[in-house]
Structure 1
Amino acid sequence: MKHPRTTLLALIFFVVIILESSPSLANPETFTQCLTSNSDPKHPISSAVFFSGNRSYSTVLEANIRNLRFNTSTTPKPFLIIAATHESHVQAAVTCGKRHSLQMKIRSGGHDYDGLSYVSYSSKPFFVLDMFNLRSVDVDTASKTAWVQTGAILGEVYYYIWEKSKTLAYPAGICPTVGVGGHISGGGYGNMMRKYGLTVDNTIDARMVDVNGNILDRKMMGEDLFWAINGGGGGSYGVVLAYKINLVEIPENVTVFRISRTLEQNATEIVHRWQQVAPELPDELFIRAFIDVVNGTVLSKKTVRATFIAMFIGDTSTLMSIINRRFPELGLVRSDCTETSWIQSVLFWTNIQFGTPEKALLQRNQTVNYLKRKSDYVRKPISKTGLESIWRKMIELEIPTMTFNPYGGKMAKIPSTATPFPYRAGNLWKIQYSANWREDRLTNRYMELTRRLYQFMTPFVSKNPRQSFFNYRDVDLGINSHEGKIRSYEQSKSYGKKYFAGNFERLVNIKTRVDSGNFFRNEQSIPVLP
């Protein structure tokens, strides 16, 4: 690492170069002085600042890019990254970004599917506030709560809970490298949601930096703003530093299984039955269905495979009794099931071998692909004829997959207005459309194949609006250019009402009150009222 003074001088020199080609950029010397003067002198910000040309810039930028579509030579890059190591660095970033009219992107774990936390879809200069260094997890087993900084990943949260207690857990996502900030603020879910709800149903406090650079907790920010950052996307209202979460009780062992059935093994009948029983099973049981295209038993012929992955908060005998009574079509046998600790079940759901040391959850690196994701909600069961038509389309397209996540349980008991996340009772399951690939030359084709499957599914999914999940951000739904309040507000409806339904207007009103100048913005943020 360079000496702080040397780093700051180099930064000033670099931004002077940027200024020469970007007249709209604020005075660079004033901006860097602003960062220094608005951060705690005991925690100099210079060592947290990275700029193009710095030998660490690319390493820091690429460390949390989880989609190779946004790591190409033509991808717009930030002129500056602030990898905050102290809360005052966040305050300085907000204060100085606002003062100098610079767009700031906020990145936690980098799993934003369409890159909105670290890529700009406009040609204007921007910088990234990267939260990955702010990652403490403070677990209090007595109160069954934890304070978690938003730069932590879920694997770290799970591991540090497990270190303190073998019978406490947190109902959140199955991917351990997902960042806490985006996951919680957008209404993240996991395989305990039918029992305990979403992340936002288990949040009891927060600390955030507002547009004026002040640090607020729940009491100081008020219930409206707390409501908004707890499911409405924290990046529209401020920078969330940490969430206080409720931990939930679990037995020492849970039961998991993963079994697959192809069309030749009666997959259509099983999926048809799954959609009727999965949302109605005991709350402790979550059975996901993953649908993909594989080689069939006949040479050169493709078939559809349905893989059922389950988590049961209980023992194998109880699970088998439930399945035999409610879902015998699955054909589950005891040898398919594994009783294990909750922490090992997290590894199982990540396709990591049983017995792997739990410290694997602290690993932030992962295999990165080019990818595209989209989402839908199903409110009425699909007929067998409908399923058969879907299988034919999937075999035709071959590449895109679908994941069905069942609702019901606690998800159906929480009012749609309790948090910004609106899709509760009446939704049978959520669909995630997925395509992964390894070569840039395949991007246009694979993106188009995913969109074609999404379009084909139109008759089978929700309508008016066609619902979408905010944490599966999808720019196909619309982009906000933030060019004038009226235009911005109208553009935002195209995605905002799909993500938030009837809660969208309340989010807009809160945004207008707390950030009337629309400093906190991205291509799918909440707008201010015109």
Structure 2
Amino acid sequence: MSKKNNSERDLGRRSLLTGAAAVAGGAALTTALPASAQAATGTSAATANAVTTVTPDLISVAPADPRFPDLVRGTNQRWSANPEQVRLVTTTAQALRAVQEAVTANKRLTVRSGGHCYEDFVFNSQVQVVVDMSGMNQVYFDTAKNAFAIEAGASNLQIYETLYKLYGVTLPAGSCSSVGAGGHISGGGYGLLSRLHGLTVDHLYGVEVVVVNANGTARVVVATRDSTGPEKELWWAHTGGGGGNFGLITRYWMRTPGATGTDPTQLLPKPPSEVFVHSTAFNWAQLNEQSFSRLIQNWGAWHEQNSAPNSPYNSLFGLLKLTHNSFANSQIGLLTQMDATVPNAQGLLNDYLSAITAGVGVTPTAMTQRMGEHAAMPQFSSPRKLPWYIATDWLSGGNPTLRGKYKSAYSRKGFSAYQIATLYKHLNLAGYSNGDALVQVDSYGGRVNAVGAAETAVPQRDSVLKLQYQTYWTDPGDEARHVTWIRNFYREMYPEGGGVPIPNDRNDGCYINYPDKDLSDPAWNTGSSTWSTLYYKGNYARLQQAKATWDPSNFFRHAQSVRLP
């Protein structure tokens, strides 16, 4: 975990390269150091932004290095690459140099922060240089920006620990502990506190990005919420536009809109001091189609009724894990976290659990199996009150290091009768057996929906549920079987959209942080909504204009990157 919590202590390895290249076009790189840090280097405030500092050589790992196999694949073991080199950076200056050298040599470059990309956007057969951000992983309060700086390689759990233990604040980010900030934040970011505090990007104050001019010059740009003109558009593009589109992200600054003063403890949301954690399960052996349907109907109806921004339930977040019925002891799981400090918290939680199980006719039991990214949690079969950080650590699951395929959807309503029947069919499909196949249906809405569709690049601001279809396997030879199951399942769920959740009165597209290349494939998307519409809706044209301004040569690109207009 990060031990450096302010700009001064972090200075030793953070000197930034500036100068003519950095200020070309009027977008200056700022060192973002407080006066105390400037004094420590003999630099005045007036000259801090003009200092050029020699940095150590980049760490380059070539194929002969024994570390190489670990650096050319991510969490999803389907994807690996064979680049000429992996470059590990620890400073913005090194990141700038890595990009410039790749541009000059005309090398295809991709960037890894946490390594959790579901598709081959980072690791593919075309990449020649991978920039690995894992060495830039600091989290600290930056007095010059009056905001919390988070480097792109920092993980979710590292961010939570630093922000909370040192300052008593947090971000409403994801539950997977090892996801990296670089991709998570740029794609929008959400988690167990999002119904209470909105999306991660709703708190984005600034971003530092290495961009490439039309003439092939790499430079560092800092764009903030307070910027104007093109820089403001670059900031906005990173509020949900996705990674790998506009430049190499080196760090973010986080401060809640409207937060005032210079006290760090008041500049980001405070999590509940204590939360209830509950896990329960329904044994498939006791469920039939009628009882399954009632459970899914209850889940959807409850969220339709309790997902307003100021609902007394805006601090409750549930994860309904609809696993495939593959074995005699297969279970459906339900995980819940809720603020234990709100008035009548225990009563509210009991009423919620009663509403979800009403009329199902199956007695809930302990969750004794791993389900997706979460391990078995039989110890929470009765709600337990825990300190927030301890609970976050407990629930900070991680995607198994397996091969996987994923799909997503936003839902404005609960499931239709047709969709429930389709869920039941494919979760009980004869001839397919996989205990690691599921649909996870997350609580959504609340304060997420208090933000306008165009205020950030995330346009889905009136959904109440978020779906993630998942299947995992180990043997490469099993890929066709598992991918076929999830593809057919997903296509049958959305027949009116040509096999995808087109924005309509019930569905609202897909989540860019759960990328799915099938959305670009006419074999699996036969409808009128393109992949870009499904991810970005009406915000895509604005993202394209930002692309044209900041990456006019399309240097940063992948299979579903924002296209030049």
In 2, Cα distance between the equivalents of 1:393 and 1:57?
40
Q: Deviations along 1:55-96, whole A, 9 cap, x unmatched?
A: 33223334xx1011114xxxx411111111221121112222
User: Which residue identity is paired with 2:546?
Assistant: I
In 1, Cα distance between the equivalents of 2:399 and 2:556?
29
Map 1:184-195 onto structure 2 (within 5 A).
184-195=185-196
The answer on 1:469 being equivalent to 2:469 is no
- Do the aligned partners of residues 295 and 270 (structure 1) sit closer, same or farther apart at CA in structure 2, a change above 3 Å counting? same
The answer on 1:411 being equivalent to 2:420 is no
- Do the aligned partners of residues 134 and 142 (structure 1) sit closer, same or farther apart at CA in structure 2, a change above 3 Å counting? closer
- Do the aligned partners of residues 150 and 279 (structure 1) sit closer, same or farther apart at CA in structure 2, a change above 3 Å counting? farther
In 1, Cα distance between the equivalents of 2:172 and 2:143?
16
- Do the aligned partners of residues 295 and 129 (structure 1) sit closer, same or farther apart at CA in structure 2, a change above 3 Å counting? closer
Moved more, 219-228 or 401-410: 219-228
Contact 1:402 1:434 survives alignment (8 Å): yes
- Do the aligned partners of residues 140 and 88 (structure 1) sit closer, same or farther apart at CA in structure 2, a change above 3 Å counting? closer
Secondary structure of 1:226's counterpart equals helix
Between structures 1 and 2, the one with greater helix share: 1
User: Which residue identity is paired with 2:316?
Assistant: L
Map 1:227-306 onto structure 2 (within 5 A).
227-246=236-255, 247-262=268-283, 264=286, 266-281=291-306, 282-294=313-325, 305-306=331-332
Query: Any stretches of 5+ residues in structure 1 without a counterpart?
Result: 1-39, 352-364, 481-492
Q: Deviations along 1:1-29, whole A, 9 cap, x unmatched?
A: xxxxxxxxxxxxxxxxxxxxxxxxxxxxx
* TM-superposed deviation, 1:419: 1.0
Secondary structure of 1:418's counterpart equals coil
User: Pick from 347, 372, 385: which aligns with 1:321?
Assistant: 347
Contact 1:273 1:327 survives alignment (8 Å): no
- 2:135 maps to what in 1? 133
In 2, Cα distance between the equivalents of 1:385 and 1:327?
25
Secondary structure of 2:556's counterpart equals coil
Map 1:190-229 onto structure 2 (within 5 A).
190-211=191-212, 212-219=217-224, 222-229=231-238
In 1, Cα distance between the equivalents of 2:422 and 2:326?
19
The answer on 1:520 being equivalent to 2:556 is yes
User: Which residue identity is paired with 2:552?
Assistant: S
User: Pick from 478, 488, 494: which aligns with 1:442?
Assistant: 478
Secondary structure of 2:401's counterpart equals coil
- Do the aligned partners of residues 395 and 129 (structure 1) sit closer, same or farther apart at CA in structure 2, a change above 3 Å counting? same
User: Which residue identity is paired with 1:463?
Assistant: I
User: Which residue identity is paired with 1:178?
Assistant: V
In 2, Cα distance between the equivalents of 1:280 and 1:327?
14
In 1, Cα distance between the equivalents of 2:485 and 2:129?
33
- 1:498 maps to what in 2? 534
- Do the aligned partners of residues 366 and 408 (structure 1) sit closer, same or farther apart at CA in structure 2, a change above 3 Å counting? closer
- 1:43 maps to what in 2? 55
Contact 2:441 2:465 survives alignment (8 Å): yes
- Do the aligned partners of residues 473 and 169 (structure 1) sit closer, same or farther apart at CA in structure 2, a change above 3 Å counting? same
User: Which residue identity is paired with 1:216?
Assistant: V
Map 1:445-460 onto structure 2 (within 5 A).
445-459=481-495
Contact 1:45 1:84 survives alignment (8 Å): no
User: Which residue identity is paired with 2:394?
Assistant: F
- TM (norm. structure 2) is 0.73
- 1:171 maps to what in 2? 172
Secondary structure of 1:177's counterpart equals coil
The answer on 1:336 being equivalent to 2:382 is yes
* TM-superposed deviation, 1:218: 2.0
- 1:511 maps to what in 2? 547
In 1, Cα distance between the equivalents of 2:381 and 2:547?
53
Query: Any stretches of 5+ residues in structure 2 without a counterpart?
Result: 1-51, 256-267, 307-312, 358-363, 366-379, 523-528
The answer on 1:312 being equivalent to 2:338 is yes
The answer on 1:181 being equivalent to 2:167 is no
User: Which residue identity is paired with 1:111?
Assistant: H
- 2:161 maps to what in 1? 159
Map 1:339-354 onto structure 2 (within 5 A).
339-350=385-396
* TM-superposed deviation, 1:459: 4.2
Secondary structure of 1:158's counterpart equals helix
Contact 2:302 2:355 survives alignment (8 Å): no
User: Which residue identity is paired with 2:485?
Assistant: L
In 1, Cα distance between the equivalents of 2:147 and 2:392?
20
Moved more, 245-254 or 508-517: 245-254
- 1:100 maps to what in 2? 105
Q: CA RMSD in A?
A: 2.9
Q: Deviations along 1:469-502, whole A, 9 cap, x unmatched?
A: 100011112289xxxxxxxxxxxx8321211111
* TM-superposed deviation, 1:144: 9.0
The answer on 1:378 being equivalent to 2:384 is no
- Do the aligned partners of residues 142 and 244 (structure 1) sit closer, same or farther apart at CA in structure 2, a change above 3 Å counting? closer
User: Which residue identity is paired with 2:211?
Assistant: D
Q: Deviations along 1:144-169, whole A, 9 cap, x unmatched?
A: 9421000111111112123314x422
- 1:61 maps to what in 2? 72
In 2, Cα distance between the equivalents of 1:496 and 1:508?
10
Contact 2:152 2:249 survives alignment (8 Å): yes
- Do the aligned partners of residues 239 and 475 (structure 1) sit closer, same or farther apart at CA in structure 2, a change above 3 Å counting? same
Alignment: residue pair count: 448
In 1, Cα distance between the equivalents of 2:65 and 2:426?
49
Secondary structure of 2:130's counterpart equals strand
Moved more, 494-503 or 326-335: 326-335
In 1, Cα distance between the equivalents of 2:53 and 2:451?
46
Contact 1:271 1:306 survives alignment (8 Å): no
- TM (norm. structure 1) is 0.78
In 2, Cα distance between the equivalents of 1:389 and 1:49?
50
